[in-house]
Amino acid sequence: MSTKPEIVTPELLSIVIPVYNEEDNVALLTQKIHESLVDYSYEIIFVNDFSTDQTVQRIKQLKDPLVHLIELKKNYGQSLALAAGIDYAHGAYIVTMDGDLQNDPCDIPRMLKVAVEEHYDLVTGIRQKRKDSWLKTVPSKVANFLVRKVTSLSIKDNGCALKVFSRDIAKNLNLYGEMHRFITLLAFLEGAQIKQVPVSHHARHAGVSKYGLERVFKVVADMMLLLFIRKYLQRPIHLFGIFGFFLILIGLGVNAWLLVEKFYFGEDIGQRPLLIFGLMFILAGVQLFTIGIVMEMLIRTYYESQNKRPYRLKGVWNATDYKQ
């Protein structure tokens, strides 16, 4: 006699799935999700990223009360499709996955168990025995290597779409460009506690992969932009002030040397290009320092005008909350 699967949470789950030309996958994927989440309370949110095939019609033909369809007015890309789905989601836990059946819904309960029982904000998959071509695996390995080297986040597989988020973390992710590939890094920078677990990976069931070499450059550019913004967003003076101070020092050093030549060696420095060079460094340094101060004021205005705080709370505890 088979034992009934353990239900780790009675709360609503939101399964967010961006789709683009996945007409032959959506029905089977929906069926597999139903089979994997028996007795769970959940909603399936398909976000159609302006598909040109019959994806929308196939989803509507399901006539499934648990399935929600969000249609975007144009092809925005996977990041904004994910953002639209997460914004719509009502669940206490939000699961993201691809619509090509390469992710296995059977892994969701196990990942959810880790998130709930071990109190992680994000549980992300590590794809075992990837069934992808070198066109996807090589850039993915390069990106994972760069993230590990540039940040303190040791994630083996940033590109795995199968993830389980707490609602709080998912709702505060700002996704744009190709940022969905670094969504784990975004969550980490938001203060998320992250756990990695191995998950299954299958070959694409139907359709054509949308990944091309041109996306590699977009991914690298987005990662650099993300790291830059997140590191200096709340402290721009640290970037512009340091560079400005460095340029001022160079300019003062150059001009100090010219003064030595003028008064000690008696040389004419009025026609020396080095004099203009030193003055330009000083002016550029002052400008950068001023930009840093202005940006500090803008950041303060941004947070204060929208009642936002530059920090995130995990929780608040008081002795009266504890019961013997």
One domain for residues 151 and 258: no
Instruction: Indicate if 21 and 53 belong to the same structural domain.
Output: yes
Query: Last residue of some domain: 179, 202, 232?
Result: 232
What's residue 135's pLDDT? 63
Verify that 174 and 49 share a domain, yes or no: yes
By residue range, what is the domain housing residue 241? 236-305
Does residue 208 sit in the same domain as residue 268?
Answer: no
At residue 315, the pLDDT reads: 57
- Please tell me the predicted confidence (pLDDT) of residue 1: 44
Minimal CA–CA distance to 35: which of 66, 9, 12, 59?
Answer: 66
At residue 324, the pLDDT reads 46
Alpha-carbon span 18 to 46, nearest angstrom: 6
Total of domains in the chain: 2
Q: What is the pLDDT of residue 203?
A: 77
Tell me: do 97 and 197 sit in the same domain: yes
Last residue of a domain, one of 197, 232, 267: 232
Q: Over range 252-268, report the average pLDDT.
A: 86
pLDDT at position 292 is: 83
Residue 320 lies in a domain: no
The share of the chain scoring above pLDDT 70, in percent, equals 78
3-class SS of residue 284: helix
121 or 213, greater pLDDT: 121
- Among 103-112, 126-135, 244-253, where is mean pLDDT lowest? 126-135
Residue 225 domain flag: yes
d(CA 145, CA 109): 29
Does residue 99 sit within a domain?
Answer: yes
On whether both 287 and 208 belong to a single domain, the answer is no
Mean pLDDT value of segment 229-244: 76
Do 34 and 152 belong to one domain? yes
Structural domain includes residue 315: no
- Nearest 5°: phi and psi at 201? -145, 135
Same domain, yes or no, for 127 and 206? yes
Segment 59-83, tens digit of pLDDT = 999 999 999 999 999 998 888 899 9
Same domain, 39 and 172: yes
On whether both 64 and 133 belong to a single domain, the answer is yes
Assess whether pLDDT exceeds 50 at residue 220. yes
- Do 213 and 241 belong together in one domain? no
Q: Give the three-class secondary structure for 97.
A: coil
Q: Indicate whether 48 belongs to any domain.
A: yes
Mean pLDDT of 12-27: 95
Q: 95 and 213: one domain?
A: yes
Query: What percent of the chain has a predicted confidence (pLDDT) above 90?
Result: 46
Q: What is the mean pLDDT of residues 148-163?
A: 82
Strand ranges (DSSP E) for 33-151?
42-48, 67-71, 93-96, 122-127
Who's near 48: CB < 8 A, 6+ residues apart? 19, 20, 55, 56, 59, 69, 70, 71, 72
Domain containing residue 227: CATH number:
3.90.550.10
- pLDDT of residue 199 exceeding 80, the answer is yes
Q: Which of 11, 16, 7, 316 is nearest to 170 (CA)?
A: 16
Residue 294 lies in a domain: yes
Q: Which of 232, 267, 283 is the last residue of a domain?
A: 232
pTM of the model as a whole: 0.74
Q: What's the average model confidence in pLDDT over 163-182?
A: 86
Residue tagged 């940040």 (tokens):
151
- Tell me the pLDDT band of 219, cut-offs 50, 70 and 90: low
Within-domain flag for 7: no
